[in-house]
Chains A and B, each alone.
Chain A
Amino acid sequence: MLLIPCPYCGERTESEFRYGGEAHFRRPENHLEATDEAWADYLFMRKNPKGWHRERWMHIAGCKRWFYVVRHTVTHRISSVYKVGDPLPDLPS
């Protein structure tokens, strides 16, 4: 059970949140003209890294805001959280 520091509400337990998967994968520009390959890549392909991961969470039982978490998928360590529009924090080395 993770302890997630919501940037709006503070630390809350994981059961208050919804997971939204990988963050910052780009919808192709002019997507209606995107190639099938580019579109399939956007729809289906995710990085699923063993290590640091930028991901999306929503505080559904709280402020109902979507935000971003940098989490290590092995240790579950959370190095930072940030809001939509914030500059991307660096991944820990």
Chain B
Amino acid sequence: MTQDFRLAKGGRIDREKPLRFLFDGHAYDGFAGDTLASALLANGIHLVARSFKYHRPRGIYGLGVEEPNALVETGIGAAIEPNARATTVELSDGLIANSQNRWPSLRFDLGAVADLASPLLSAGFYYKTFMGPGNAWKLYEWMIRRAAGVGRAPEQPDPDRYEHSFAHCDVLVVGAGPAGLAAALAAGRAGARVMLVDEQVEPGGQLLNTAYTINGRPATDWVADATAELDRMDEVRRLQRTLALGVYDHGYVACVERAVPVPEGRTRWRERMWHVRAKEIVVASGAIERPLIHDGNDRPGTMLASAARAYANRYGVAVGKRAVVFANNDDAYRTALDLADSGIEVAGILDLRHDLTGAMPALAREKGLRVLAGHAVVGTRGRTRLKAVEAAPVDDPSNRQIIECDLLAVSGGWNPALHLYAHAGGKASYDAALAAFVPGSSPERMTVAGSAAGEFALAHCLSGGARAGVEAAKRAGFSATQPALVLEAPEPNADTRVGPLSAPNRGGKRFIDLHNDVTEKDLRLAAQEGYRSVEHAKRYTTMGMGPDQGKTGNILGLNVLSDALGQAVPQVGTTTFRPPYHPVSFGALAGREVHDLFLPTRKTPMDSWHEENGALFEPVGQWRRAKAYPKPGESLHAAAEREVKAARESVGLFDASTLGKIDVRGPGAAQFLDRIYCNTFSTLKPGNARYGLMLGEDGMVKDDGVTARLGPDHFHLTTTTGGAASVYVWLEDWLQTEWLDLEVYLTSVTEQWAVATLSGPKARQVLGPLTDVDLSTAAFPFMAFREGRVANIPARIFRVSFSGDLSYEINVPARHGLALWQALMESGRPHGITPYGTEALHILRAEKGYIVVGHETDGTITPHDLGYGGMVSTKKDFLGRRSLGRAGMTGPDRKHLVGLLSKDPARVLPMGAQILERPTEARPAPMIGHVSSSYMSPTMKRGIAMALIKNGRERLGQTVYLPLLDGPTVAAEIVSPVFYDPENARRDG
């Protein structure tokens, strides 16, 4: 298709490089340097979208990130990106784009019946209407979400790669318009390390869009010179296509860079997130034009005035053949003049102001343009494209005249882009003459310059930018003077004040937030219904809550509320800007931390053996642990049962390498352990080990584990797998900040030792042939610790048991872990040695009534609650001791650890099930405890459970009731938690 609306000359596009693209299945041509929006406009396509709520036809409205209408879907299949702004999509050969939120087609959209029903769909309609009955909201929500909405999310995994980069600089300049370039030049010349990030494809900002001159030459020449100078500076890094999303603490700025599109469509990375630490930040992010409130202000063909002139100047596109400019300020006259210079007929300039004495109106009149002072647009005509506007004097709105046109360029003045300033904590103040918020005092490390500071005149942008660059460099420690930037930008228009923001109301639709279909009427209704705070009115009407976050409409909305509430704008307030400035893809945020790289997987030295032998793994924190080793066709349950039997009847082997281990050394080591454990360790003889309970200062059980004494001043301390890191930090805390009297050194050695646990009556026969250590019960009794060799590997052996049967925990240096495991399996073959996983481990320990921290404890359980009161020393001080004497730590209200046997032996009570004293249907029912662990016990041949029950030890033999979710209420008997071998007859084998 021919580009009927492409101007014969001009623009920064490369007419030698035609590109072909598809929109809604039709092929169109554009040029390198186009955006999707400019290429569509060059082909006369304005209608690109249907609105969010009413499905009204919408056209391209803006130029960049402020675009509220032109949300399209790009790409196909897994690479679909929904809600891309046509105005920010760089055109590339073969680009595929489609419109959204329409059915069956963009031109004929059945959803538009919502527009006919719009008198019903006022602010708060959903809240008021869809209230019942019962669960009906689920149905309503499904219907509403289908009818209203934006794009579809792709259903396949994202095929693209995203990167993260980290950078440090002295001065970060955001925006490469006139102010940003001047700031970067000034700071760069002072020797500072400068980063200049800019969201556009090329630097220049507004200088690319509007025909300005600097020092008597086209402003774009100055941009080229400035850029060349910056690129010669070694300490300056310039990033185009890079959007600063948010400013966080201590000079941390998140930016996202888009890759240069390639014809094949796939780049090495698609987006790159920059984590920048800057000593100083210069915000030169420019300003965003706002429209005016008038009837029919969403007709396709209506556009921001600055966008209309940018399409002509920068892209060589005539957005229409015959234009009307509607404005309240002098800057809009540039649009009229630039459009006229491009050969577009300007049918008239309607200015809401009565008194036009400025230089710009005079210039327009001089050029023969028709200027109508005190006039407004009071209606628009056309369905999917503007055909005419109804113009009338502001003071006599019924006195209409029809002006035929296909472009309405609207300007209500400019809003400084203060988003980054607000992220940093800046408090803006309202300037009524500009009808805009401008920066108040500057937050630390930040300077706002140029249009972003409300300094809209080009000369001010240049001088303000240079000043900001010098100041930032100075604060970053460089000596800088005002650089010799001799920049003269003569401007007839120094008047940036604006007139009224609103045309007379003739009862048509007057949109404030085009994206979310919020009208002036909705806001007035919200005010009338009592939403007096702007934050409430915003949420009630959804003004400013679309993906554009109200970039074009918020100030208009504030002025409507101000009028409706009879309060000045500053009293109505403004909503808070939060990062990101513009929507960011999940891919960019995630970077490479996806799939296998999402979290590091910690593997034990024996992991490869588990994998080769069919282990079923489970994640435990970052560790992956073998849960069981099912044989082909065997269920997890059956495998665990087989493994438990082996560990009870012959011998099993368990990988316990994930246990936390801390090497404790120093003359104060024994005393230190006495202080951190509630039981005593100073009396422990070298060569022996002891189970210890660690309490928090609140007296609650924090962690547990076995600690062995290797020598007078040397201990090997173990923690739970999950508690390893927090226990280490806790111990260092006491040593470093409180107990400066103790000389103790802690080293985390969790990953330095591999641990294999042999368990079962035949454990001694398996280990015996491999070691030089005397394993007889007399020489190596329960709770003893020996050093020796196992399979010719230096080893530390603990005779501890977590199953109740004879057991050896063999620690070897991690690099020998696999060799140890293989040697034990080989030696155990004649005895039927069976590897077992965490599932069998849990069953074994529950049969014996041993606790697991985190199952039987939850931060509210004391040693006495567990029945471990006998371990608590009364002879020494330790962490948590004072708390054990607090009110409420003893007495009949404490929950005790008990066993629980279902009356039906085949039933496994669900973990977490609540326990009642009496069977009852009444809800809520008083609960006296819960099930903490529960398994089918292969040894006891029935379901067993551990539970925490109020005053449980005094209730042994009583029956309690468990109302199961979606099931019956079952009865169970309270018993001792030790189900297996209460006499400890089996621990010596």
Contact = CB atoms under 8 A, between A and B. Distances in A.
B736 A65 contact: yes
Given A1-B248, A2-B250, A27-B738, A39 B733 contact: no
Contacts of A27: 738
B249 interface: yes
A45 B610 CA distance: 48
B250 A3 contact: yes
A77 B443 CA distance: 11
Given A58-B732, A60-B729, A77 B444 contact: yes
Nearest to A78: B250
B729 A18 contact: yes
Interface in B715-737: 729, 732-733, 736-737
A1 B733 contact: no
Interface residues of A, number: 27
B262 interface: no
Contacts of A50: none
A43 interface: yes
A77 B881 CA distance: 38
Interface SS of A by simple majority: mixed
Interface string B512-524: 0000000000000
B162 to A, nearest CB: 19
Interface stretch (B37-45, B293-301, B404-412, B882-890): B882-890
B751 interface: no
A66 interface: yes
Interface residues on B, range: 20 to 34
Interface string A70-85: 0000011110000011
B889 to A, nearest CB: 11
Interface string B857-893: 0000000000000000000010001110011000000
B277 interface: yes
A32 B882 contact: yes
Given A58-B732, A75-B444, A84-B740, A34 B882 contact: yes
A34 B733 CA distance: 22
A64 interface: yes
B733 A58 contact: yes
B886 A3 contact: no
B251 interface: yes
A76 B738 CA distance: 27
Contact of A32 (B249, B425, B444, B881): B881
B252 A3 contact: yes
Contacts of B883: 39, 43
Contacts of A13: 277
B249 A85 contact: no
Contacts of A77: 444
Contacts of B882: 31-32, 34, 39
A76 B737 contact: no
A32 B736 CA distance: 22
Interface in B698-751: 698, 729, 732-733, 736-738, 740
A44 to B, nearest CB: 8
Contact of A43 (B251, B698, B737): B698
Contacts of A2: 249-250
A66 B252 contact: no
A36 B732 contact: no
Contacts of A31: 882
Contacts of B732: 58, 64, 66
Contacts of B877: 32
A3 to B, nearest CB: 4
B886 A75 contact: no
B697 interface: yes
Contacts of A32: 877, 881-882
A39 to B, nearest CB: 6
Contacts of A60: 729
Contacts of B729: 18, 58, 60
B733 A43 contact: no
B275 to A, nearest CB: 8
Contacts of B733: 20, 56, 58, 66
Among all A-B residue pairs, the 4 with the closest Cβ atoms: A3-B250, A76-B249, A66-B736, A1-B252
Given A39-B886, A78-B250, 4 more contacts: A27-B738, A39-B883, A56-B737, A66-B736
Interface of A: 1-3, 13, 18, 20, 27, 31-32, 34, 36, 39-40, 42-43, 56, 58, 60, 64-66, 75-78, 84-85
25 contacts: A1-B250, A2-B249, A3-B250, A3-B251, A3-B252, A13-B277, A18-B729, A20-B733, A27-B738, A32-B877, A34-B882, A39-B882, A39-B886, A40-B886, A42-B697, A43-B698, A58-B732, A60-B729, A66-B732, A66-B737, A75-B444, A76-B250, A77-B444, A84-B740, A85-B740
